[in-house]
């Protein structure tokens, strides 16, 4: 998936085209995603207007008239596309929403790690998928002191902690490596061992790398397409991710890869201390 910048990019793309549109018909498949799709989505959504789209962490929250929310999570391979008029159904399509103005929103997810849920908007604070999420990294309240508090006493590797959505949301495997490189901090450091200066650097690096990716329209690996079908292009700007063996942009020594928590970490052992 899509990490925060990609989800934010999708949110903006969908908002621009679908805000105000009224649901005409809904189709959904039978295969469960991370959890079963809500039953009778057709009757739940038909006739409602899409009033707004919000993002919390990597979740998209489609707000509908009548105080209802459709929650979408793209997992690793989820894609949302808008088409004009009918399109032949594709393998791994799971949800298709037709709007009265002729636009069609399709949720396709090969690996089925995504989520679709539906709830009354007022119940959001207690929603099991949303209730325990950490701070939003682009909020002004996400400060070095805040990050320090979230990492306090944690002995796990810093990179693994940054991907923990209870520590800070939206940072996934790519941007964790990228932020640590920018901050010049080793992914192997115990999470709770950062100095005030390092917390300041890392907080700034997280914000900067996410903002740059959003400004570039979200990154694109093999499964990701923006909501209008255009490919994002931030992947060309990765400084370390996916670049094992290539020269570090700062010092020229070789970028290395290691495995942490079952995921690949890319880093420069010379510049990241």
Partner DNA sequence: CCTTGAACCTGCGGGC
Partner DNA sequence: TGCCCGCAGGTTCAAG
Residue numbers annotated as active site: 2-3, 58, 263
Question: For DNA, which is the closer residue by CB, 62 or 174?
Answer: 174
Cβ 43 to DNA shortest distance, Å: 27
Q: What is the spatial distance between Cα 210 and Cα 178, in angstroms, rounded to a whole number?
A: 10
Cβ 227 to DNA shortest distance, Å: 13
Cβ 24 to DNA shortest distance, Å: 29
- Decide if residue 105 touches DNA (CB under 7 A): no
Question: For DNA, which is the closer residue by CB, 223 or 250?
Answer: 223
Q: What is the spatial distance between Cα 248 and Cα 240, in angstroms, rounded to a whole number?
A: 7
- Decide if residue 8 touches DNA (CB under 7 A): no
- Decide if residue 63 touches DNA (CB under 7 A): no
- Decide if residue 76 touches DNA (CB under 7 A): yes
Cβ 165 to DNA shortest distance, Å: 5
- Decide if residue 141 touches DNA (CB under 7 A): no
Cβ 173 to DNA shortest distance, Å: 3
- Decide if residue 56 touches DNA (CB under 7 A): no
Question: For DNA, which is the closer residue by CB, 28 or 73?
Answer: 73
Instruction: Please compute, for residue 184, the number of CA atoms within 13 A of its CA located in the half-sphere on the CB side.
Output: 10
Site string for DNA, 208-247 (x = CB under 7 A): -----------xxxxxx-----------------------
Cβ 91 to DNA shortest distance, Å: 5
Q: Which of residues 171-210 bind DNA (CB under 7 A)?
A: 172-174, 191
Question: For DNA, which is the closer residue by CB, 9 or 45?
Answer: 9
End-to-end CA distance of the chain: 29
User: Residue from 34, 184, 207, 211 that binds DNA (CB under 7 A)?
Assistant: 34
**Using H for helix, E for strand and C for coil, what is the string for the chain?**
CCCHHHHHHHHHHHHHHHCCCEEEEEEECCCCCCCCCCCCHHHHHCCCEEEEEEEECCEEEEEECCCEEEEEECCCCEEEEEEECCCCCCCCEEEEEEECCCEEEEEEECCCCCEEEEEEHHHHHHCCCCCCCCCCCCCCCCCHHHHHHHHCCCCCEHHHHHCCCCCCCCCCHHHHHHHHHHHCCCCCCEHHHCCHHHHHHHHHHHHHHHHHHHHCCCCCCCCCCCCCCCCCCHHHHCCCCCCCCCECCCCCCECEEEEECCEEEEECCCCCC
- Decide if residue 81 touches DNA (CB under 7 A): no
The angle subtended at Cα 199 by Cα 142 and Cα 217, nearest 5°, is 55
Question: For DNA, which is the closer residue by CB, 45 or 74?
Answer: 74
The contact set with DNA (CB under 7 A) reads 1-3, 6, 34, 57-58, 73, 75-77, 91-92, 110-113, 129, 153-157, 160, 163, 165, 172-174, 191, 219-224, 261-264
């Amino acid at each position: 998936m899509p990490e925060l910048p990609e989800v934010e990019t999708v949110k903006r793309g969908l908002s621009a085209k679908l805000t105000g549109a009224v649901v005409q018909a809904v189709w959904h498949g039978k295969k469960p995603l991370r959890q079963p799709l809500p039953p009778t989505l057709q009757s739940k959504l038909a006739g409602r207007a899409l009033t707004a789209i919000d993002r919390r962490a990597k979740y998209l929250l489609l707000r509908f008239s009548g105080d209802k929310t459709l929650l979408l999570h793209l997992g690793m391979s989820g894609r949302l596309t808008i088409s004009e008029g009918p399109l032949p159904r594709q393998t791994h399509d799971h949800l298709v929403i037709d709007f009265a103005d002729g636009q069609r929103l399709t949720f396709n997810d090969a690996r089925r790690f995504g989520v679709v849920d539906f709830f009354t908007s007022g119940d959001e604070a207690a929603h099991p998928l949303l209730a325990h999420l950490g701070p939003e990294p682009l909020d002004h309240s996400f400060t070095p002191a805040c990050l320090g508090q979230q990492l306090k006493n944690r002995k796990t590797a810093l990179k693994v902690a940054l991907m923990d959505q209870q520590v800070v949301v939206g940072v996934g495997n790519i941007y964790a490596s990228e932020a640590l490189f920018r901050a010049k901090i080793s992914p192997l450091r115990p999470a709770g061992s950062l100095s005030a200066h390092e917390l300041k650097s890392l907080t700034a690096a997280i914000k900067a790398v996410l903002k740059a990716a959003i400004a570039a329209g979200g990154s694109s690996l093999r499964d990701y397409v923006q909501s209008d079908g255009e490919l994002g292009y931030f992947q060309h700007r990765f400084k370390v991710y996916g670049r094992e063996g290539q020269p570090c942009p700062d010092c020229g020594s070789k970028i290395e890869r290691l495995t942490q928590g079952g995921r690949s970490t890319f880093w420069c052992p010379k510049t990241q201390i």
